[in-house]
Structure formats: C-alpha cells, structure tokens
C-alpha cells in the first residue's frame, strides 16, 4: 500500500494598506485548484500572529491550504506561485510575500514554532533556518518576510478555533464605497448571534463585518461553527455583486496570543499576556484621550493603557481605584505599556478610610498630625488618630470581565461571548 502524504501550503504578507488581502489570493488559488481537480482537505486556514510583533503585516494574517501530495501537487505549487506573483502588492515596501510548501506530518517542533510566532516574534532569518531544518520548500519574494507567517499558518494546532466567511467584491468595485444594507446586518445578528459574533458594535453603532480599508473583502462574518455562516450570508443584503466567497478556519478570537504570566516582571516587550496586579493609582486620561494607570505586584509594576480607539472601555477603566486587584489581558507595545484588551476584577477595594463622625453628626477634621480629630461645629475633640473604614459603592463587580468594544477589538482577542466555549 502506498501512503499518500499531505502537502501543506502556507502564504503570507501579500497585501498592503492600499489593497489586496491574502485571503482573497487564497480564494483565487482555491478556484484554480478546483478547475484542475485539486481538492482541499478541510477548510483553508487564516492564522493571525502576534499583534505586537514589529513589522507586522496588515492584519497580520497568514493563510494555509492542505491537499493530497499526489500527482497533481506540482500543478498546485505552480498555481500558488503564479497567483502570488500576479496578485501581491509588490509596489509596497512593506509587502514581502513568502510561500511555503511542506510534505509530511506537522511535528511538535513546528507547533512550538507557530506558538512562538504568536507569542513573541521571529525574524526572517530564523524562519528560513527553521523552515529548512524541517524540510520546507521556501519561496521568498523581495525580502520574503511572509515565510514567518506562512510556516506558522500550516503548523499551528487549532484546539480552539472560529470560522470566518469572507465575501469578495468584483475587481471593478475595489476601493469604492461598499454597498451593504445595514438593516440586514442587524437582522442577521439578531437571528444568528451568538453562533455568529462581532457583527455589530452596538456601543458605537458600527457595522463590524464591513472592512474600512480598500481591500477586496466586502464583508466578513465570524462564527463559532461553520454551519451558520451560509444562513448568515443569505440574510445580509448587498447592493453590489459578490464575486466569490470562502469560509476560513481561524485562530481569531481564541486568545491564543495570550500567555499566562505569574508575575509582572516575567513579561517581555512585544509579548501578549494575562497577569494579575493591584491597581496603584486612579486611571487618568492624558492628551489624545488615552487612559493610563499602573498595576503592581511583589515583582514590579507596569503601566497599563486603554487607548482612545477603545472609546467606552475607557469609562469602565475609569471606575478602577487604587487597591483593586485585577487580571489584565493584552500585549506590551512600543512604549512598554500594557495595552489592555480586557480585564477581570479579582477583588474590588470597596473600603475607604474616612475621619470619624462626631456625636453631633458632623464629619470631624484632623486636629493636626498625630493630634486626633476635632469637630468644627461643636468643638468636640478625640485623641485617636485612627480613620474609620467606610464601604464604597462600586460600578464594577467582583469576578466580572470587562472588554473593549467590538470596533477596537484585536483579531485574536477572545470576546466575552466566547469565554466559556472551547471547540
Ligand atoms: Zn460635633
């Protein structure tokens, strides 16, 4: 018996802020595969890498396809390379496509590599060396940065995953205003949430399925199960032709980028973590509308930020007070600030210490350092310097999670509507 092995295909970094999308390129490849009688095994994958990695691609998503490594494998490789040549945004300095072909089984060391690409960052040289060591066929275009994500995309285990249906525009409409009937998106959300999610940002009145860039994507609908996506697609009405559509299996919204840090000093810049700490100071807004505060533990402290685009989330953050113990989820960016994606309240500091009340009902004032308290109304004095604990009404709840609105959410962040799910 001849064992037919699989051929894994990874592609990344073909797009630019001015257009294209690696998923669109993948869907074109899949169409040409179909014409040649080449069938995919499973869903195509869309894999997001560490959002804090330097030189990230737009959206930071690589694509992987899996087919049988049979007599048609050489045709498949030819199609992939032709489409990458044809559709990549080569004029953009920051577009440096990479293509990987790999025959055989995904090994544990390849899985480790993939997690490293999501948790930390990997250089082109490291990726190339690693790819060669496991027997990948490597194709670099320009600097070939895309090989970093291409190897990760074929290698990442998806113990948790979501799906995204991407509908693509006709090429003549690229760059023009999208014609999506917003009422129908509300209807779709009503009928399919929570199987689908991230459709609408209700706090900002924002249609989240519609990209804001000139890419070929008309809309993207995200879900926990693939079955609901065609139903959702049929509900959404559009005023322009849908040229093509494709469902991807993805690590989006799984928190796969988050590593558990047992203490603050264990975290490194450009890494993504969840970590517990005590709020040190009252969160304050600075120029530009960004909100900052520090958390501390026995190992050190770190500045946390809720940035202007997180909108209403800043209001929630402003309810924190010194002494609150919280677990923050997010990543450490350029300025060494922890970008908070969500937080869980572990223990609220719901006590504050006030001067004692006088017998006459008036709150007493300090009579001077270590001289006790006095009452300004009746002149009463007490010698004790001890303040009295008083309960504080809080706008946050112990144990509860608070997250950024949909409009500001990162691709990898697990929304609260998925927090109790694993698939
Ligand atoms: Zn008094």
Per-residue pLDDT of 190-240, as tens digits, reads 999 999 999 999 988 889 999 988 889 999 999 999 999 999 999 999 999
CB-CB contact of 26 with 66 (8 Å):
no
Identify the residue whose tokens are 């300095």.
93
Query: Distance from the CA of 364 to the center of ligand 1, in angstroms?
Result: 7
How many angstroms separate the alpha carbon of residue 258 from the centre of ligand 1?
Answer: 55
Strands 259-260 and 272-279 come out as parallel
381 CA distance to ligand 1 centroid (A)? Answer: 8
Distance 389 CA to ligand 1 centre (A): 19
Q: Is the pLDDT of residue 75 over 50?
A: yes
- Ligand 1 centroid from CA 339, angstroms: 48
Contact 311, 204 (CB under 8 A): yes
> pLDDT class for 2, splitting at 50, 70, 90?
low
Quote the radius of gyration of the chain (alpha carbons, Å). 26
Q: In angstroms, rounded to a whole number, what is the distance separating the alpha carbons of residues 182 and 188?
A: 10
56 pLDDT higher than 90 = no
Centre of ligand 1 to C-alpha 383, Å, is 14
183: burial class by Cβ within 10 Å (0-12, 13-18, 19+)? exposed
CA of 375 to the centre of ligand 1 (A): 5
CA distance 98 to 305: 34
Ligand 1 center to residue 360 CA distance, Å? Answer: 4
**CA–CA separation, 235 vs 246, rounded Å?**
16
CB 131 within 8 Å of CB 181: no
Average pLDDT over residues 359-376: 92
φ, ψ of residue 28 in degrees (nearest 5): -65, -40
How far, in Å, from the CA of 376 to the mean position of ligand 1?
Answer: 7
| CA 374 – ligand 1 centroid, Å | 8
Centre of ligand 1 from the C-alpha of residue 388, in Å: 16
Predicted confidence at residue 59, as pLDDT, reads 45
Give the list of residues 6+ apart from residue 409 with CB closer than 8 angstroms, or none: 198, 341, 403, 415
DSSP symbols for 13-67: ---BTTB--HHHHHHHHHHHHHHTTPPBSS--EEEE--TTSTTPPGGGEEEEEEE
Tell me if 251 sits within 8 A of 48, measured CB to CB: yes
Average pLDDT over residues 349-363: 93
Sign of CA dihedral 158, 160, 165, 166: negative
Span from the CA of 382 to the centroid of ligand 1 (angstroms): 11
Q: Return the structure tokens found at 283.
A: 């969160």
Pick from 15-29, 293-307, 400-414: least confident: 15-29
What predicted TM-score, i.e. pTM, was given to this entire model?
0.91
């Amino acid at each position: 018996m001849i064992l037919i092995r699989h051929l894994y295909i990874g592609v990344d970094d073909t797009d630019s802020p001015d257009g294209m999308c690696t998923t669109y390129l993948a869907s074109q490849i899949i169409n040409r595969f179909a014409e040649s009688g080449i069938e995919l095994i499973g869903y195509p994958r869309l894999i997001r890498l560490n959002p804090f990695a330097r030189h990230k691609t737009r959206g930071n998503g690589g694509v992987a396809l899996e087919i049988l490594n049979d007599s048609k494998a050489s045709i498949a490789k030819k199609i992939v390379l032709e489409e990458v040549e044809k559709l990549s945004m080569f004029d953009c300095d920051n577009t440096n496509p990479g293509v990987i072909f790999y025959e055989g089984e995904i090994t544990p060391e390849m899985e480790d590599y993939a997690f490293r690409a999501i948790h930390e960052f990997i250089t082109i040289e490291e990726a190339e060396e690693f790819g060669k060591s496991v027997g990948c066929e490597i194709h670099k275009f320009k600097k070939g940065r895309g090989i970093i994500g291409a190897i990760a995309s074929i290698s990442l285990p998806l113990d948790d995953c979501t799906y995204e249906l991407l509908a693509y525009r006709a090429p003549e409409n690229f760059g023009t205003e999208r014609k999506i009937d917003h009422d129908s998106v509300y209807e779709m959300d009503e009928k399919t949430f929570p199987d689908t999610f991230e459709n609408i940002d209700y706090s900002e009145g924002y249609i989240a399925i519609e990209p804001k860039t000139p890419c070929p994507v008309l809309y993207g609908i995200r879900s926990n199960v693939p079955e609901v996506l065609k139903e959702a697609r049929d509900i959404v009405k559009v005023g322009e032709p849908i040229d093509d559509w494709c469902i991807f299996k993805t690590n989006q919204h799984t928190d796969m980028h988050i590593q558990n840090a047992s203490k603050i000093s264990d975290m490194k810049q450009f890494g993504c973590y969840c970590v517990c700490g005590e709020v040190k100071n009252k969160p304050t807004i600075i120029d530009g509308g960004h909100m900052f505060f520090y958390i501390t533990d026995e190992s050190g402290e770190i500045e946390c930020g809720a940035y202007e685009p997180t909108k209403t989330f800043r209001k929630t953050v402003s309810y924190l007070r010194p002494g609150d113990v919280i677990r923050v989820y997010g990543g450490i960016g350029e300025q060494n600030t922890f970008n908070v994606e969500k937080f869980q309240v572990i223990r609220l500091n719901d006590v504050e210490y006030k001067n004692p009340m006088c017998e006459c009902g008036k709150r007493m004032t300090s009579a001077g350092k270590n001289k006790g308290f006095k009452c300004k109304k009746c002149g009463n004095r007490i010698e004790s310097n001890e303040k009295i604990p008083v309960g504080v009404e809080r706008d946050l709840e112990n144990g509860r999670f608070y997250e950024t609105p949909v409009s500001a959410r990162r691709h990898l962040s697990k929304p609260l509507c998925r927090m109790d799910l694993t698939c």
